[in-house]
């Protein structure tokens, strides 16, 4: 998923379009006649949404880059360099301006009213990359949320811009177990967590601007960067997203462990990862060596490996 820092970077690159006049949108399902001959007056991002607003217009273009979306901006009439694309890139839309052409790949594009933008604007102070970030407002919302903390902080109405990477890194840096209930964490623990989420996001943004990959402490790792124990990888809760965490650095309290065990034993355990995408909030442990039946050399312990393949669920 393209998370907050990368969306901010994309918005910054879109700034070259300011005062450029929109000529056409090459995308059949978008009715954008009201936007033609209008110049771009503002480019903004809130969380994972990017908006192109136009002068004297009640509509705007909304972009969501989903899992691996991207944009390529070239001077008007200039073809896109093939080396800038990969074999799986699918063109979503072509925005033609008087000075530039913008190619949008693997993304979602729609036309939204300015009323919609006003509603989204109310979350700007909680945007995980915001310079004027409202810690108090974000913590107050989390204190009343009854979901597991890993799900609460992914809610774009609470913390716009938080994705899987920011979630895992922030929880690890705060030493918070992802299965703890948000409202039960307490004010101080939530403050520490939100500060770490925001700090990591701002740091990631600086790395993005420098075109560097930010080092991870837990996400996509096999062993813990602190204690070297095996990283746990699970898919749980209603968003069905994977979570990396260390069971030793992010422990459950005895009471919370008992409560979680009771909850899990009442849920149906899928027998394969194929069923995990439809488990509707149930727990799927993606690394359980005791249940693994894969043959290994010399009876060695099975090792967790993350693999990718082409298909409809690529990058998920």
What are 93's two structure tokens? Answer: 């839309």
- Pair (92, 207) in one structural domain: no
Whether 85 and 11 map to the same domain: the answer is yes
Averaged pLDDT, 309-316: 60
Angle between helices 187-209 and 135-143 (to 10 degrees): 130
| Separation of alpha carbons 96 and 30, rounded Å | 14
pLDDT given at position 167: 97
Judgement on whether residues 166 and 109 belong to the same structural domain of the protein? no
**Full-model pTM:** 0.84
Question: 166 versus 311: which is more confidently predicted?
Answer: 166
Q: Are residues 140 and 266 in the same domain?
A: yes
Instruction: Please give the residue range of the domain that contains residue 111.
Output: 4-121
Same domain, 116 and 145: no
Residues 210 and 268 in one domain: yes
User: What's the pLDDT tens digit per position in 94-147?
Assistant: 999 999 999 999 999 999 998 999 999 999 999 999 999 999 999 999 999 999
Q: Answer with the residue of higher pLDDT: 149 or 270.
A: 149
Same domain? 84 vs 233: no
Residues in the chain: 316
Give the lowest-confidence range in 54-63, 158-167, 207-216, 258-267: 258-267
CATH code for the domain in which residue 271 is found: 1.10.8.50
- pLDDT tier for residue 281 given thresholds of 50, 70 and 90: very low
Do 16 and 91 fall into the same domain? Answer: yes
Q: What is the pLDDT of residues 222-256, one digit of tens each?
A: 899 999 998 988 887 666 788 999 999 999 877 66
Among 93-107, 183-197, 251-265, where is mean pLDDT lowest?
Answer: 251-265
The more confidently predicted of residues 30 and 220 is: 220
Q: Is the pLDDT of residue 289 over 70?
A: no
């Amino acid at each position: 998923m393209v998370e907050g820092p990368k969306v901010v970077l994309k918005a910054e690159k879109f700034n070259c379009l300011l005062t450029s006049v929109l000529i056409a949108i090459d995308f059949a399902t978008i009715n954008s006649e009201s936007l033609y001959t209008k110049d771009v007056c503002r480019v903004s991002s809130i969380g994972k949404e990017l908006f192109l607003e136009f002068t004297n217009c009640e509509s705007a273009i909304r972009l969501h880059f989903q899992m691996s979306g991207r944009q390529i901006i070239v001077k008007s009439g200039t073809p896109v360099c093939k080396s800038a694309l990969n074999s799986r890139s699918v063109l979503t839309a072509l925005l033609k301006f008087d000075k530039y052409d913008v190619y949008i790949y693997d993304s979602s594009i729609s036309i939204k009213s300015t009323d919609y933008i006003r509603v989204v604007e109310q979350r700007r102070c909680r945007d995980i990359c915001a310079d004027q970030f409202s810690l108090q407002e974000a913590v107050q919302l989390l204190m009343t949320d009854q979901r597991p903390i890993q799900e609460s902080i992914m809610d774009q109405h609470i913390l716009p811009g938080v994705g899987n990477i920011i979630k895992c890194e922030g929880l690890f840096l705060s030493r918070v177990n992802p299965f703890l209930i948000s409202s039960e964490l307490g004010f101080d623990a939530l403050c520490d967590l939100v500060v770490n989420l925001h700090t990591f996001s701002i740091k990631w943004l600086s790395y993005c601007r420098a075109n560097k990959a930010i080092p991870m402490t837990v996400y996509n790792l096999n062993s813990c960067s602190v204690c070297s124990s095996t990283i746990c990888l699970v898919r749980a809760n209603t968003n069905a997203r994977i979570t990396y965490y260390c069971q030793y650095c992010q422990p459950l309290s005895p009471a919370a462990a008992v409560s979680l065990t009771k909850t899990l034993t009442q849920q149906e355990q899928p027998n394969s990862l194929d069923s995990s995408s439809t488990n509707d909030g149930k727990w799927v442990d993606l690394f359980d060596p005791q249940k693994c039946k894969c043959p290994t050399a010399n009876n060695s312990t099975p090792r967790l490996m993350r693999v990718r393949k082409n298909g409809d669920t690529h990058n998920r």
